[in-house]
Structure 1
Amino acid sequence: MSGIVILNPYSNRWKAGKRVPEIIDALEELSLDCEVVQTQRPGHAIELAKQASREGRDPIIAAGGDGTIGEVINGLHHANPEGVLGPLGIIPFGTANDLVVNLGLPLDIVGSLQAVSGRATRRIDLGQVNDWVFDNNSAVGLEPVVTLYNIRMTWLRGVIRYLVAALRAIAAKPEYEMRIRWDDGEYEGLVSLVSVGNCPVTGGMFKMAPDADPTDGLLTFVYGHAPTHWKMLSLLPRTISGEYIHDPAIHQHHTRQLEITCSPGTPIQADGEIRAEDATTIRYRVLPARLDLYTP
């Protein structure tokens, strides 16, 4: 059966849909027999990927930003919840393209499809937060508050949008009473953020989980409490390099599972998309060696 390109035409500020002719030309040049199907609504990529997997379509390619890739992976997971997913190709059309950048995959259409044509693959872990599977990063507390501001600031573009959103979130100073339990530890007290990484970089520039490795069979998480606006602000530039984890207020660990109880409720973000806005119980687990990606 022919393959499918699941394209979110709204990615990159509605520019992705205009690039369908380029995708078709590259598919034909590389003799890849694929139908290009555009998503029509949020969640549609989940349905398309689930159906494509069950029909045995090959290859399956996600074209869009990190949110679109996440939906496609969740569709594959729905079709095969216990097995290895993919192989999956990616044509990145997002603002940050975090997964692609973290893994060093091609950023252009032709290079992305050449990777698919070459059929070489790389296997990585996935993470799961409650019932949602993520490939790059998830968080509760400050980081999804940043995501909420980022979603609303449609007048800015690129990495500067993430930076301004971070400054606005710091001004709001979210704070939670949490109990955090992981494989070999536990913490109870005030928390500003918990960031859980399968890969190191999120938001285009922030090394929130600097020691994360998507092939080690573990999730890397960071938690901490910044009691003042100034403390939060002083940590922000150090998140870009990842050096913030050396601050005494910040703690990084590796684990297979993580359980958080929280008051008040917190938003949850996964791969840049809000998955809950008022969660009081959050459960993470690693899905080791679960996704195959086409790679150069």
Structure 2
Amino acid sequence: MVAHGRSRSDRRDGPFAIVRAQEEHDRDRGGEEHLSGGRGAILRRAAREGVLHLRGQLRVAGAAVGSGAPHPRRPSRAWGGAHRGCAAADSRAQSAAARIQTRARVSRLGARFPADGFAEDQANGVGRGDSCAPESRRRAVAMNRFFAIVNPAAGGGRCGKRAEAVLAELRASGLPMEVVWTRRPGEATRHARAAYREGYRSFLIVGGDGTTFEVLNGIFPEAEGASERPRLALLPLGTGNSFLRDFLLVEEVEAAPVARARSVDAQGGAAEALHRVREALRQGRTRTCDVLRLAHREGVLYFLNLLSVGFPADVAMVTNRWFKPLGEVGYLLGVFACLVRLKRRAFPVRVEDAPELDARRCLFLTFSNSKFTGGRMLIAPHADPCDGLIEYVRWGPIGRIGLLRQLPGLFDGSHVAHPLCERRAVRRIEFSLEGPVPVMVDGEVVRVQCQRLDVLPAAIEVMI
């Protein structure tokens, strides 16, 4: 059997068959280029010089090159056939003379191209970065770099305007990073999950509490029980930036909640947090922190700040819909809007190993890892994100007038002294809800049927 007038033996390839096929094609097409970007000319020039790099192997023509001896010819075929032929071609070690010849010619290409040839996995990645490098090499590169996720919509769009300058400053200081920008909700989760599987363990989150929530749910549950904790550096360019405020308290000794809240304001809020994070990145300073885990009917959620049902969830829902671009002022407007239709409901829960469910009506229940929500609202003044406990705060069925009178206490933490308020530090909560309810978790509102809440002690490191 023959094909295009050539026998099977003629179709057995040598390393230059693809070049000859290219030349034939060019002649048939009147000299038009067949390979884009001039690759045909590059291959033919490499053949004339006796060097051809194909499928990760560096071939050197022996005595036939330049001798005018004919080479077996083959028809023009797809690249796949040429690759298979080259892989099956002579793979014996080059002679000493050929190796010297190779080094002399390849040395002109620069240090990136080793004269002794390429390993196949290295050659396949040429021109495509680390994505095609060996798995171990990619993971080694990832483990020494930060994966930065930027949410340009955070902070009412202010994050997108400031992020470039902040990232440029960090790069100038020598911080290695890979940067991606999100375009829609949920993308931060997908990026974080893919990066964690690539081997990244250090994440730079440029946004607010909601962006951090998305990234955390991309890293977990795979990070549960891992030998190396994920590291998070949170650049607070979002609306609330509540979580980092816990670490900005000037006084380390126990103080009245009012004094502690004012100490945060004295530090300039988000601006101080941004400065502290930059310094922590330069110095490699971290603190281990807990992660809270909510099991619900449809799956699992992980969060750093707090989960609320009742009044705070109603406020977050109204604020996100109408007032979020206004920042902390918008959250306050959401509070007043929800006062008009104040709801007091029962959310049956069992705290720790209590013998009975607590099904009393209440204004809200909050389960906090950190102290603040909505920016400056000190909802859980006794919470500590590093103690391995959940701060549980329950406020009973207070009326509108009573809530208006106590509203300043929600911002300085003094509301926990109210007779209708209860608090305790726990490790586990079980829910007995009849169906899904609105839940505010780290500034985001989701509708889920909560089942169980617990804590993962010291599950991450936060750079602060």
Q: Same fold (TM over 0.5)?
A: yes
Distance 1:265 1:4 in 2: 35
Distance 2:203 2:322 in 1: 32
Unaligned runs of 5+ in 1: none
Deviates more, 1:90-99 or 1:114-123: 114-123
* Residue in 2 that maps onto 1:284: 453
Deviates more, 1:167-176 or 1:148-157: 148-157
* Residue in 2 that maps onto 1:216: 387
* Residue in 2 that maps onto 1:148: 317
Distance 2:153 2:170 in 1: 21
The letter for the 2-side match of 1:274 is V
Pair 85,71 (structure 1): closer, same or farther in 2 beyond 3 Å: farther
Distance 2:323 2:376 in 1: 19
Q: Secondary structure at the match of 1:117?
A: helix
The letter for the 1-side match of 2:207 is G
Report whether the alignment pairs 1:266 with 2:458.
Answer: no
Question: Which structure is richer in relative contact order (CA contacts within 8 A, separation 6 or more)?
Answer: 1
* Residue in 2 that maps onto 1:200: 371
CA offsets 1:36-72 (integer angstroms, 9 cap, x no match): 2101211111111111122123532111010001111
Q: 2:411 aligns with which of 219, 224, 240?
A: 240
Q: Which has the higher helix share?
A: 2
CA offsets 1:235-285 (integer angstroms, 9 cap, x no match): 322111211111111111111111233467531011100121xx4544211
* Residue in 1 that maps onto 2:190: 47
The letter for the 1-side match of 2:282 is S
Distance 1:140 1:108 in 2: 28
* Residue in 2 that maps onto 1:3: 146
Distance 1:136 1:287 in 2: 13
Compute the displacement of 1:140 (Å): 0.6
Aligned length: 293
Distance 1:90 1:266 in 2: 29
Unaligned runs of 5+ in 2: 1-140, 249-269
Structure label with greater radius of gyration: 2
* Residue in 2 that maps onto 1:173: 342
The letter for the 1-side match of 2:404 is L
Q: 1:124 aligns with which of 289, 310, 319?
A: 289
Q: Secondary structure at the match of 1:116?
A: helix
* Residue in 2 that maps onto 1:93: 237
Deviates more, 1:207-216 or 1:13-22: 13-22
Provide the aligned C-alpha RMSD in A: 2.2
Q: Secondary structure at the match of 1:153?
A: helix
Taking structure 2 as the reference length, what is the TM-score of the superposition? 0.59
* Residue in 1 that maps onto 2:399: 228
Taking structure 1 as the reference length, what is the TM-score of the superposition? 0.91
Distance 2:275 2:415 in 1: 37
Pair 224,282 (structure 1): closer, same or farther in 2 beyond 3 Å: farther
Identity rate, percent: 27
